[in-house]
Amino acid sequence: MTTLYYYHKDFLQHDTGSGHPESPNRLRAINAALEGVEFDSLSRISPQLRQDILKQIRLVHTQEMLDKVLQDVPPDCYISLDPDTQLSEGSAHAALLAVSTVCDAVDKICNNKANNAFCAVRPPGHHAEPRQSMGFCLFNNVAIAAEYARKVYKIKRIAIVDFDVHHGNGTQAAFYNNAEVFYASSHEMPNYPGTGNPSETGVGNIVNVPLASGETGQQFREKYSDKILPALKQFNPDLILLSAGFDAHKEDPLSTIQLTQDDYQWLTQEIVSIANSCCEGKIISVLEGGYNLDALADSVSTHIAVLMK
C-alpha cells in the first residue's frame, strides 16, 4: 500500500510565541520519529504553494476572514486573532502551504497515485469556522480538502472523522446542512470549544460522541464501536478524511482522556478496514492537535505505520 507523507520546513515559520503548545517542535518530533528503517518505503513529498489556493480557500471561508489571515505582520511581532490564535510574519505562508498540501493530497488520492496520505501540517484547522479563525487554527484544512474533492473530482459522499480531543466546531459549521458530507467527532466534554453535544446532528450527517473527563482507552473504543464506526460504514463514503488530533493521549497537557498509542493504532486499523470496503482504501489524514511531544511522535508514527500496511 502506497502511503504519502507530506511535510515542508516552511510549516515551522508559523511562530506562535514562547510557551504556546502549538509549536514548531511538534513537527520536528514527528519527523524524528519517522527516521527508522520501517518508514523507508514512505513516499515523502515536499508540497508547493498552489497558484489557485485562494480560490480553494474561498470554498469554505469568507473573503473578510481570508484578508485577516493574510495581513502583513512586521518581523518579531504578533497579531492576535483570538486569545489562543496569533499571526507571526510567517503564519500566512504556512497556512496557505497547509491548504495547498491537503489539496495536493486530494489530487494524488483521487487520481489513484497512492492509497492514502498523512499531511504533517501546521497550523491546524478544525476549529476555524467559515467566518472566523480560532483555537490555534487559521484555515480549516480538512473542510477545504472536502470541498475541493467535491467540486473538482465530483466526489459525492465524503466522510470526516475527527478524533482530536477537542470538538471540530469549524468543520461541523461548514457542513452542518450538507447531507453529502458526514462528520463524526469524539471529544472531551467539558473542554474547549464547548460545542459537540449529541443533539447537534445537522441533517442527519453529524455524529457527536462526547468523552467524559478521565475516560479510558477501553471506553473510547466502545464508543467508536457502538456509534461512530457503524455510522461511518452505513454512510458508505467515497473518500475518508481524518482530522487526526492526538491530544486525547494520557500524557497530553490539554485533556484528561487516557488514550495510549495502542488506542490510536486500533482506531486507525478500524477506519482502514472500513475504507477498504467502501472506497478502495482512500484516506487522507491531516494533523490537528497533540501537544506532548513524545506522545505525539509515538502516536503519529503508529498511525502512519497502520496506513502503510
Domains of the chain from N-terminus onward:
3-308 (3.40.800.20)
User: Residue 126: which pLDDT band, with cuts at 50, 70 and 90?
Assistant: very high
Picking from 286, 234, 237, the residue whose alpha carbon sits closest to that of residue 106 is 286
Q: What is the mean pLDDT of residues 189-207?
A: 99
Are 283 and 272 contacting, i.e. CB atoms less than 8 angstroms apart?
yes
How many degrees, rounded to 5, is the angle at CA 198 between CA 197 and CA 204?
A: 120
Kindly name the residue from 8, 14, 61, 127 that is annotated as catalytic.
127
Q: Which neighbouring-strand residues pair with 184?
A: 161, 207
The 10s digit of each residue's pLDDT in 131-185 is 999 999 999 999 999 999 999 999 999 999 999 999 999 999 999 999 999 999 9
Q: Residue 309 CB: number of other CB atoms within 10 A?
A: 9
Q: Please report, rounded to a whole number, the percentage of residues in the chain having pLDDT higher than 90.
A: 100
Antiparallel, parallel or unpaired: β 85-87 and 79-82: antiparallel
The 10s digit of each residue's pLDDT in 94-111 is 999 999 999 999 999 999
Q: Please report, rounded to a whole number, the percentage of residues in the chain having pLDDT higher than 70.
A: 100
The per-residue pLDDT for 14 is 99
Question: What's the whole-model pTM score?
Answer: 0.98
Picking from 163, 164, 186, 182, the residue whose alpha carbon sits closest to that of residue 172 is 182
Are 126 and 170 contacting, i.e. CB atoms less than 8 angstroms apart?
yes
- 1, pLDDT greater than 90: no
Rounded Cα distance, 205 and 226, in Å:
17
How many degrees, rounded to 5, is the angle at CA 40 between CA 260 and CA 164?
A: 30
Q: What are the φ and ψ backbone dihedral angles of 101, each rounded to 5 degrees? A: -60, -50
The per-residue pLDDT for 214 is 98
Mean model confidence pLDDT for the chain: 98
Per-residue cell: 126:
478544525
| Residue 61: active-site member | no
Rounded Cα distance, 38 and 256, in Å:
31
SS3 63: helix
SS3 182: strand
Rounded Cα distance, 241 and 157, in Å:
11
User: Residue 221: which pLDDT band, with cuts at 50, 70 and 90?
Assistant: very high
Picking from 137, 129, 162, 114, the residue whose alpha carbon sits closest to that of residue 286 is 162
